[in-house]
Amino acid sequence: MALVFYHVGWCPECAVVRDKLEDLGLEYEDVLVPDARPLRRQVFEVSGQYYVPVLKDGDTVLTETRDILAHLDAQYSRRPAAGR
């Protein structure tokens, strides 16, 4: 699976990203990480930092909510056919 979403359950920014993924109907690997930042080894290994949300899309790793949303819009939003 190309998309991997790292998050914690209580994070409002994570909820925004999760909602966007679901609105776009995208399949993704859902990785719930520990609340304590120092324990988020998976996040650090992928992104070099401990904050969430993090989205990995193939070789692309995004760590800022606005960047994640912009990437999802650019790559996955359904665009109307030309001439419509």
* CATH at residue 36: 3.40.30.10
Is 81 a member of any domain?
no
**Domain encompassing residue 25:** 6-76
pLDDT tens-place string over residues 30-72? 999 999 999 999 999 999 999 999 999 999 999 999 999 999 9
Burial class (CB in 10 A: 0-12, 13-18, 19+), 54: buried
Comparing CA positions, the residue from 46, 56, 53 lying closest to residue 26 is: 56
Domain total for the chain?
1
pTM for this entry = 0.90
Are 61 and 54 within 8 A, CB to CB?
yes
84 assigned to some structural domain: no
- On whether residue 83 sits in a domain, the answer given is no
